[in-house]
Amino acid sequence: GQQVMQIPQYQHVQEGEDFTTYCNSSTTLSNIQWYKQRPGGHPVFLIQLVKSGEVKKQKRLTFQFGEAKKNSSLHITATQTTDVGTYFCAGPTSGTYKYIFGTGTRLKVLA
């Protein structure tokens, strides 16, 4: 079945350093979503990418969808303690609204 993997699994950074998480799907995706889950919280939608090669920015966050629409990345510039949490990508099974969530990357920011 469809699999969505993320690397790294964990990342510890000093506050102010940059952070990147990568998402790879075993199948081509029509779109990809990113979510953030704070410790003890629930996933919160960040963004959706639809077009091949698409790049979107939200303040210090940059999201990219690969040309082949099988991979994506999230880059955070100058991390802050508020960025702590687990970042998930999610992609739909072909032809359905069934989204498969990636394994997640847990980010810890050291002040």
Residues that bind another protein (CB under 8 A): 30-31, 33, 35, 41-45, 48, 50, 88, 92, 96-101, 103-104
Instruction: Using the minimum distance from each CB to another protein, give the nearer residue, 48 or 77.
Output: 48
Instruction: Using the minimum distance from each CB to another protein, give the nearer residue, 14 or 96.
Output: 96
* Six token digits for residue 5: 């993997």
Report in angstroms how near the CB of residue 30 gets to another protein at its nearest: 7
Report in angstroms how near the CB of residue 50 gets to another protein at its nearest: 6
Q: How many residues does the chain have?
A: 111
Q: What long-range pairs does 14-19 form, CB within 8 A, spacing at least 24?
A: 14/109, 14/110, 15/79, 15/80, 15/81, 15/109, 15/110, 15/111, 16/78, 16/79, 17/78, 17/79, 18/75, 18/76, 18/77, 18/78, 18/79, 19/75, 19/76, 19/79, 19/83, 19/107
Instruction: Using the minimum distance from each CB to another protein, give the nearer residue, 17 or 99.
Output: 99
Report in angstroms how near the CB of residue 99 gets to another protein at its nearest: 7
Instruction: Using the minimum distance from each CB to another protein, give the nearer residue, 43 or 79.
Output: 43
Report in angstroms how near the CB of residue 101 gets to another protein at its nearest: 4
